[in-house]
């Protein structure tokens, strides 16, 4: 644990995961049941996940940034019978309907001087050897809810013993080479799919995971040097913040131990990627996938230099681009991205959404828009739900956002459609400035002129507002529905 320096050895993890599995059985949690985990990045987060992995149960990790109503919704929706929460959430637990009505038992990690049992104390009452009926568990994680209520993404629970090499272990290990020499830096929250899964795969392959409690650009560089990190995982907003560090800070740290830096979660602006490659070299790998893992495309640095802006070729499933009628379109044509023969999944308690993302051929989509080139490389345009229709013209805001982010004064940006009397929607930008530019005069006009110098007039913002922060998840995804609701009066 990077903040405290606390170390968990493989022997300690083995003992604690076994004791945790005994606790689950003692609480009546059997194979196929469901538990939830609500805690910040701390060692117990992974230990409880590994306990569930040993007990053959589904486990849902809940974002610590949600309010009590959103947490209660997920607890009820996933049918969690048991919740392990950190002590920072003790005050809201009585307000969570599943807890209040006794549908979900609770244990606390941390200061448990209250009505709920202590996970650590309960665990010490049990043996550190495996439970008699060990079985491989599985995560059931929720979408980030960027366009509406989050949905649980459910894969079939395998009838296998713990430690069985799963599809995910084989896929990630094959692409990124996690092994016993790996020292993996996790700068993101473990409740999110990618950080959790990559950290657990690293540990399962015998490597070391270094977990940050929260992302800070310079701290991340210091940790890479201190722990001689070989693998790391990022989102584009982290790249932007790293690049905005003063040059003297960026060159202060030795990053030569890094072999692979992986990024995903959102499209990376081309100019930002070029700058990162110039700084870190050809160690940067990018992938496109969702928590659903209905497909997986990936690209290394050399491929990306030959296909700038691409997120790669399919490594799991077969990519198809389809029009609104569900028919496949030629290479180079923009349409909705579908995968064939990827991981089978369902949206928990929402068969209609599961059906809606599946076409007549049985291919599935996450609602993203893109195109394929003649070499089979995929390029993302934007999410279908982020489309702006202005004067009958379709505008995807990603290109405008990328342009704004390339300006040295811009730290973050979101582009949305807002109501317009004549055009239906108008392109509007919400911008967070780098601190030293926050009080600069005429910045809106400067940024509009900058966009006009690089984009067609249709794609340029007609208005710009400035904010101190933008509503992003801790994993880098923009909550545009929050911004849109301020103008349209709905989520």
Geometric angle at alpha carbon 58, from 54 and 60, rounded to 5° = 115
Instruction: Name the nearest CA neighbour of 358 among 333, 341, 376.
Output: 341
Which domains does the chain possess?
10-140 (3.40.50.980), 387-488 (3.30.300.30)
Q: CA 94 to CA 115: how far, in whole Å?
A: 10
Question: Are 136 and 156 contacting, i.e. CB atoms less than 8 angstroms apart?
Answer: no
- What does the pLDDT read at residue 145? 59
- What does the pLDDT read at residue 491? 41
Question: Are 390 and 257 contacting, i.e. CB atoms less than 8 angstroms apart?
Answer: no
- What does the pLDDT read at residue 318? 96
Instruction: Name the nearest CA neighbour of 203 among 427, 471, 9, 409.
Output: 9
Q: Other CB atoms closer than 10 Å to residue 434's CB: what's the count? A: 16
Structure tokens at 400: 């405008």
pLDDT by residue (tens digit) across 199-249? 999 999 999 999 999 999 999 999 999 999 999 999 888 998 999 999 999
Q: CA 145 to CA 160: how far, in whole Å?
A: 31
pTM over 0.75: yes
Give φ, ψ of 250 to 5 degrees: -60, -35
Return the DSSP state at 269. P
- What does the pLDDT read at residue 114? 81
Give, for all 491 residues of the chain, the pLDDT tens digit.
Answer: 999 999 999 999 999 999 999 999 999 999 999 999 999 999 999 999 999 999 999 999 999 988 898 899 999 999 999 999 999 999 999 999 999 999 999 999 998 778 899 999 999 999 999 999 999 999 999 986 555 678 899 998 888 899 888 888 999 999 999 999 999 999 999 999 999 999 999 999 999 999 999 999 999 999 999 999 999 999 888 998 999 999 999 999 999 999 999 998 777 888 999 999 999 999 999 999 988 989 999 999 999 999 999 999 999 999 999 998 888 999 999 999 999 998 889 999 989 989 989 998 999 998 888 999 999 999 988 777 777 878 767 787 888 998 999 999 999 999 999 988 777 789 999 999 999 898 888 999 999 999 999 888 888 999 999 999 998 876 677 888 888 889 887 54
Instruction: Name the nearest CA neighbour of 309 among 365, 260, 259, 267.
Output: 267
Give φ, ψ of 15 to 5 degrees: -65, -45
- What does the pLDDT read at residue 159? 86
């Amino acid at each position: 644990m990077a903040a405290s320096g606390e170390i968990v050895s493989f022997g300690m993890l083995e003992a604690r995961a076994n004791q945790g599995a005994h606790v689950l059985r003692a609480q009546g949690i059997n194979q196929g049941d469901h538990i939830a985990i609500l805690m910040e990045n701390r060692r117990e987060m992974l230990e409880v996940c590994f306990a569930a992995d040993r007990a053959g149960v589904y486990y849902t990790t809940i974002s610590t940034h949600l309010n009590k109503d959103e947490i209660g919704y997920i607890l009820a929706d996933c049918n969690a019978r048991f919740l392990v929460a950190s002590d920072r959430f003790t005050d809201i637990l009585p307000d969570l309907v599943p807890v209040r009505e006794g549908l979900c038992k609770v244990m606390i990690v941390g200061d448990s001087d209250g009505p709920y049992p202590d996970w650590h104390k309960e665990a010490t009452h049990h043996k550190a050897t495996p439970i008699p009926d060990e079985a491989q568990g599985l995560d059931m994680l929720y979408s980030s809810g960027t366009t509406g209520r989050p949905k649980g993404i459910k894969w079939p629970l395998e009838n296998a013993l713990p430690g069985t090499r799963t599809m995910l272990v084989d896929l990630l290990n094959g692409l990124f080479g996690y092994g016993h020499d790996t020292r993996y830096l996790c700068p993101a929250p473990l409740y999110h799919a990618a950080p959790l899964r990559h950290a657990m795969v690293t540990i399962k392959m015998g490597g070391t995971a270094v977990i940050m409690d929260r992302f800070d650009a310079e701290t991340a560089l210091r940790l890479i040097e201190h722990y001689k990190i070989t693998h790391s995982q990022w989102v584009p907003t982290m790249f932007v913040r790293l690049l905005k560090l003063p040059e003297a800070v960026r060159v202060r740290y030795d990053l030569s131990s890094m072999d692979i830096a992986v990024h995903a979660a959102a499209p990376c602006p081309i100019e930002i990627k070029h700058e990162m490659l110039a700084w870190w070299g050809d160690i940067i790998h990018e992938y496109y996938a969702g928590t659903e893992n209905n497909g997986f495309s990936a690209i290394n640095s050399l491929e990306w230099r030959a296909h700038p802006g691409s997120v790669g070729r399919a490594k799991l499933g077969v990519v198809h681009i389809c029009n609104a009628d569900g028919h496949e379109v030629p290479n180079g044509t923009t349409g909705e991205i579908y995968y064939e023969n990827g991981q089978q999944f369902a949206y928990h308690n929402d068969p209609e959404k599961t059906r809606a993302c599946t076409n007549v051929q049985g291919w599935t989509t996450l609602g993203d828009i893109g195109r394929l080139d003649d070499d089979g490389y995929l390029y993302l345009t934007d999410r279908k739900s982020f489309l702006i229709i202005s004067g009958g013209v379709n505008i995807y805001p990603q290109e405008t956002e990328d342009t704004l982010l390339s300006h040295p004064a811009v730290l973050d940006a979101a582009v949305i459609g807002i109501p317009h009397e004549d055009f239906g929607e108008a392109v509007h930008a919400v911008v967070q400035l780098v601190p030293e530019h926050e009080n600069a005069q005429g910045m809106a006009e400067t940024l509009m002129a900058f966009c006009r110098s690089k984009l067609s007039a249709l794609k340029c913002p007609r208005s710009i507002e400035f904010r101190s922060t933008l509503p992003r998840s801790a994993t880098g995804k923009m909550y545009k529905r929050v911004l849109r609701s301020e103008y349209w009066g709905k989520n």
